[in-house]
Each structure stands twice: as structure tokens, then as C-alpha cells.
Amino acid sequence: MTPGQAVMAAGLAGDMTHMVRCIFDLLPELVTMLQPLGRVCDMLCTRPSIEPYPWQVAKKKPERFQGAIEFKNVNFTFPSEPLKQVLFDLSWSIAPGEKVGFVGGTGCGKSTSLYLIERWYKPQSGQIFLDGEPIENFDMHHLRRHMSVVAQTTTLFSTTIRENIVYGLPQTAREAISDDQIQDVLQKANAWKFVCDFPRKLETYVGERGVKLSGGQKQRLAIARALIREPTIILLDEATSALDSKSEVVVQQALDKMTDEHKNGCTLVIAHRLSTLRSCNRIIVMEKGCVQESGSHANLMKIEVQKTSDGDMKQGWYRDLYETQHGKDKDGKLARVSQELAELKWKFVELKEENSRLRARTDTIKTFKLGKAKRSNQQPLGDVSNLNFDLSVLELCRSNSAEVTSDDENRLPPLEMDRAKTTFDW
């Protein structure tokens, strides 16, 4: 072997050693990469249970929904926390055109029920029906186009106020909406005033996630976004929680008007301010993922509050919540006042009817005028000396009581009274 060949052999041996060392250095990283790569492959091969996929069979897309929703023995657990169940055999139903409120403590499953209607999750067992059919039989995107949601956390996009209001609508519908329609829904949502305060009004950029607006302003824009869609199913999850009292009244009236105009759909309202649920046809009280009470406000307030020795509720969940917010009716004072007002109302009605009868009677009675008669249209009487008037004195005696004796000294003197004279001029 020549010296040159020896040098070349030594160089090749060094290169081979370096490459082998690099391979051994990369082996741990390759082994570490195999596990997440397997999870990525599993995810790509998994068929979604809710979201549509290309080779999926086409689902129903009705032109309109009636709005009849029914939960039947629904059990649900969040995938991220499989050991903590949220809903336990939940069953309730809503008829078309009905407005139903949901109340209960924090974590009882109110918002979770709305998530299932929005098709964000699928229940582990049980069934959810829409217009008499399982809700999974309908196309998810088509179903969500007929919904309007105003949630506790309002989501705004980094664009103008106009684009945030019409966001999500089809292109043809967005082009058909005029500025007058946007202004009308903003006025109903009590948002037009603060929009006009911005120099660019509807063309104002709200910033990333609406950072330029306050919580109440963002919530009013979300309500305007729900109003402009004229949806069939309306889901309100604490829709007025970030508003002041005056704004809440105005916005609540707009929401009530919107729900009243859509008799074919349904409205689900979640609220901790129980005063906003008085207009609901029915109120469902939930506790620990189950329905405890259901009925109107008046019927639920009639249920007496009963608790166990440990302080757990037995009945009267709604009344307990209402009295906690508005104070208890001690000793039934409110009931007595209401009863007294009702009695006074009936007495007023009776007096009014009696007054009407008296007025009718007085119309038939001839009125007489005391004093000097007016005889402008009659001839003078002339000499009245021949007229025979009996001007005798009337003698009246007072009756004695039983205690007064019959003695003359104790007898009361008689009363004398002249007969009233006529109005003739003597």
C-alpha cells in the first residue's frame, strides 16, 4: 500500500466513524417521534362523530324547523374529564313557539344542555330529538344557520362593526342587508348610541376579540347579531349579564319582541336574574344535572321550601332562589297586601256600579227649587187676600226616654214650628 492509499484509508475510516456517531445520536429522537406520529395517524384515520366528512352520506336539510326539542334520558360527560358526569338521565321537552327558562346553581348543566343542542358534543347515552327526529339526522351546518346564540362570553372578530353583525351569513344575504336594517337592530339592542360616538360609526374596527369595546358593548353587538338573523331557535345564555339595569330593560324588551314574532320556533333562556324569566311560558329548575321542578313562575312560587336536617333541598328550589334574590315574604305580608288590594278593587267596582244605578234613578226624579220661584213666563197673581191658606202652627213633642220621669218639671217643652211660607210676595 502506498503512502497515499494509507492516508485515504485513514480519512475514510474517520468519516465512517463520524457518520455512525451521528446515526446513534439521532436514534433517540427518532424513537421519541414515533409515538406522537402514531397519534397523528390515528387522528387522520378517525371519522368525526359530529363534523361532516367528504364520504359521509348526505343528511337532511329542511327549509325550516318547527322548533320542537326533546331531551330523553340524556347522560353526558365531557371528553376532557371522563370521570365527572355532568348530566344524569336529563329529560325535558319544548313545544314550538314556547319560551322556556333554565335556572339553577353554577355547574348544574344549563349551558351544557345548550352545547348539545348546538352540536358541539354528543351525549354518551340518551337521545335528543328535533321536530320528532334525532338531531344527528340533520346537517350540522344547516342546523346552525337556523340558530342564534348569545352566550356569556361574546366573541367578536378583528373587523368592523358592520362585518361583526353580518358575520356568518351567506354572501347573498349579506349583500341584501341595508344600513337601515343594521341601524334598526342596533337600536333594538340599545347599541346605536355608542356606535354613533365613534367617528367611523359602522366602519369602526373593534380590534382583536373586540378589545376596543367594553363588556356591555360587546354583548349588545352580539344581541344585534342575533336579531338580524331572524332565527328559528334562539339560545340566550346570560344574554344581559353585562348590562346595566336600564339597558337590560330595553334589550330584554327587544328580545321578548323577537321571540314573540317567531311563533314557529322556540327560545331557551338561561338567566341568574330571575326577574328576566317572568315572561317565559315555563321555567325548568335544574340541580346536579337533573330536572327538579318545572312550571310557570306563579306555580313554582306556590311550592313551599323544604330542607333536610343537613340543609339539602327537598322541594321549593325556585322559590328559595327567588327569595334569596328579592327577599323573603315574612309573615305573609305580601300575600295579605295582595288580598287587601284585591278586596279594595272589588269594593271599587261595587261602588262604581252603585253610583251608576243612582245616576240612573236621579234622572227620573223631578227636582224642586226652594226659595223664590221664577215666574217670568206667568201672569201676576194680583190680589191674594181671598186665597185660603192654612197657616196653622204645628206642635211637635219630643219623646221622653225611659229614664226620664213623667213629672211636669222634667217634661221637655213642646216645639213650635210655623209652616213654611210660599214664595209669593205679600
CATH code where residue 266 lies: 3.40.50.300
Q: Do the beta carbons of residue 224 and residue 163 sit within 8 Å?
A: no
**DSSP3 helix / strand / coil % (the chain, rounded to 5):** 40, 20, 40
CA dist 260 and 59 (Å) reads 30
Angle at 63 between CA 136 and CA 221, to 5 degrees: 85
How high is the pLDDT of residue 145? 85
The tens digit of pLDDT for each residue in 174-205 reads 888 888 888 888 888 778 888 888 888 888 88
Evaluate whether residue 396 is within a structural domain.
no
How high is the pLDDT of residue 371? 46
**Total domain count, the chain:** 1
State the cell numbers at 181: 336594517
The tens digit of pLDDT for each residue in 290-324 reads 888 888 888 888 888 878 877 777 788 888 888 88
Residue 418 phi/psi, 5-degree rounding, is: -80, 145
Nearest to 153 by CA among 206, 227, 219: 219
Evaluate whether residue 371 is within a structural domain.
no
Residue 138 phi/psi, 5-degree rounding, is: -95, 150
| This prediction's pTM | 0.64
pLDDT at 341 over 70: yes
Tell me which residue range forms the domain holding 209.
69-326
State the cell numbers at 129: 330529538
Evaluate whether residue 64 is within a structural domain.
no
CA dist 400 and 408 (Å) reads 12
**Can you tell me whether residue 291 is helix, strand or coil?**
strand
Evaluate whether residue 258 is within a structural domain.
yes
How high is the pLDDT of residue 75? 92
pLDDT at 386 over 70: no
Which of 197-201, 262-266, 330-334 is modeled with the greatest confidence? 197-201
Least confident of 40-44, 97-101, 175-179, 401-405: 401-405
Pairing between β-strand 147-150 and β-strand 233-237 as defined by DSSP bridges: parallel
For helices 179-188 and 215-227, angle between their N-to-C axes, nearest 10 degrees: 120
Evaluate whether residue 42 is within a structural domain.
no
Evaluate whether residue 125 is within a structural domain.
yes
Evaluate whether residue 215 is within a structural domain.
yes
Evaluate whether residue 333 is within a structural domain.
no
pLDDT at 110 over 80: yes
Q: Do the beta carbons of residue 232 and residue 68 sit within 8 Å?
A: no
Least confident of 268-272, 401-405, 410-414: 401-405
Residue 294 phi/psi, 5-degree rounding, is: -155, 135
